[in-house]
Amino acid sequence: MPFSDFFLNSSRNCNVMKFEEMGFDERLLKAIKELRFEKPTEIQEKSIPFVMQGKDVIAQSMTGSGKTLAFGGPILHKLAHGKGVQALIITPTRELADQVADHMKKFAKYIKAEVCEVFGGVSIEPQIARLRHADIVVGTPGRILDHLSRRTIDLRNVKTLVLDEADRMLDMGFIDDIRRILSVVPKNRQTLLFSATMPREIEFLARRFMNSPVNIRTQAFVSRHKMKQYYYDVKENDKLSLLVHLIKKENPHLAIVFCNTKRNTDFVSRTLEQNDIEAKPIHGDLSQAARMHVLEGFHRGRPHVLVATDVAARGLDIKDVSHIFNYDLPSDAENYTHRIGRTARIGKEGKVISLLSSEGHEAFRRIIRVHDIEKAFEMNFPRVKIPSRRYERPRMRRYRNY
């Protein structure tokens, strides 16, 4: 059956299914209850029944909709501990791999299951040791291929393969890596593909590597009353001053400021700190330990402003982000969608503020066709002292961004 023959639209039944009605193991239900998941999200309600039936699933759902439990719950329900690697979950970034693995371990609190995360930027030796006993592997494409080449991972018993945030993996150039991994896992498997957007390459993957997948689509965007989107027309030389002013005026609980380059990320973060705003940068040139240290602090609210590139921020599972600031506009509406998905998650409210200078007009025309963004005005704001751009980041070991 073709990829497009199954389709479930985004209209939600008023009688929401309960977790207890999904056939989950009692031990899994106990962990879900302790995590205070009161009722399934839309993507969980629509996809879990099909995943439990063993069907291949392509699920499109906005960031923060609860996708990890949608595939993780059925994996743990069917798991037989000690039978080798039975589930392989592939993610685009180290941070997402770490967070998915952490969630899987929490879901498996009362189930015997060894979850092993594998990604670059850290020593491979401890991963090799843990892989010998793993039931579930969560990893990035590059490091999974490293283990395959070393023959330190055995995928012959994989029953479920998950591509999490598949669109971002394609954006990051992992398509060939994904094909290589798919070619070595058993053909007689269940394949689950979760993505916020659905580029054409995903349809190719579906036709080539999936068996009559069920196509599930949920609400693509947060409703207007939950997420407010604004933009300010501003001169390039005034962007930093306006950003400092707006952050102090909005007083966000937690905020992410997006920049398009690592250089701008460092520069903006340094400017905010020099203007009494606690901020830290995160991007691909930081070591894995440094990135995790920043993220752990941000989870606790110190700092309360994270300045990030798209690659570094993709897949971050951070609760209660109240504001997104686009210091630099992304190149297209798809990347804008990914950015704003960091706020207004699972029923909460959020605000997105974009700074539009002359350099961003072409990109903004593409974004405004898809998103409803209101123009805002801020006539008077103090100009701040801008630090020198001659600052150089300390030299540190670099790793591939996988």
255 and 357 fall within a common domain: yes
In a domain, 344, yes or no: yes
| Domain limit, last residue, from 170, 185, 217 | 217
Amino acid symbol at 82: G
In a domain, 190, yes or no: yes
In a domain, 367, yes or no: yes
Per-residue pLDDT tens over the stretch 3-23: 444 444 444 444 678 999 999
Average pLDDT over residues 111-115: 97
163 and 241 fall within a common domain: no
pLDDT of residue 222: 55
Residues of the domain holding 108: 19-217
127 and 37 fall within a common domain: yes
Per-residue pLDDT tens over the stretch 176-201: 999 999 999 999 999 999 988 788 88
Instruction: Tell me the CATH number at 111.
Output: 3.40.50.300
pLDDT of residue 6: 42
132 and 276 fall within a common domain: no
192 and 273 fall within a common domain: no
340 and 192 fall within a common domain: no
- Cβ proximity of 148 and 128 under 8 Å: no
Q: CA–CA separation, 114 vs 133, rounded Å?
A: 7
177 and 42 fall within a common domain: yes
pLDDT of residue 386: 78
**Does residue 99 have a pLDDT over 80?**
yes
What 8-state DSSP symbol labels residue 19? G
Q: CA–CA separation, 271 vs 265, rounded Å?
A: 10
| Number of independent structural domains in the chain | 2
269 and 327 fall within a common domain: yes
Instruction: Please provide the DSSP assignment of 130-173 as one string.
Output: HHTT-SEEEE-HHHHHHHHHHT----TT--EEEEETHHHHHHTT
- Tokens 């570094």 locate to 312
In a domain, 386, yes or no: no
Q: CA–CA separation, 71 vs 54, rounded Å?
A: 11
- CA-based max dimension of the chain: 65
User: Counting Cβ atoms within 10 Å, is residue 219 exposed (0-12), middle (13-18) or buried (19+)?
Assistant: middle
Q: Which residues pair with 231 in a beta bridge?
A: 354, 375
**Does residue 117 have a pLDDT over 90?**
yes
In a domain, 397, yes or no: no
pLDDT of residue 351: 94
Q: CA–CA separation, 121 vs 399, rounded Å?
A: 6
pLDDT of residue 346: 61
Spell out the residues 6+ positions from residue 42 whose beta carbon is closer than 8 angstroms to its own: 10, 12, 61, 65, 218, 219
Per-residue pLDDT tens over the stretch 267-310: 999 999 999 999 999 988 888 788 888 988 998 888 999 999 98
46 and 185 fall within a common domain: yes
In a domain, 330, yes or no: yes
Q: Compute the CA torsion angle 122, 139, 171, 67 (nearest 10 deg).
A: -130
Mean pLDDT of all residues belonging to the chain: 88
116 and 180 fall within a common domain: yes
pLDDT of residue 172: 81
Per-residue pLDDT tens over the stretch 34-92: 999 989 999 999 999 999 999 999 998 876 678 999 999 999 999 999 999 999 999 99
132 and 208 fall within a common domain: yes
211 and 232 fall within a common domain: no
In a domain, 4, yes or no: no
pLDDT of residue 312: 60
pLDDT of residue 341: 81
Average pLDDT over residues 329-352: 84
- Tokens 């990035």 locate to 140
Q: How many CB atoms lie within 10 A of CB 361?
A: 11
In a domain, 39, yes or no: yes
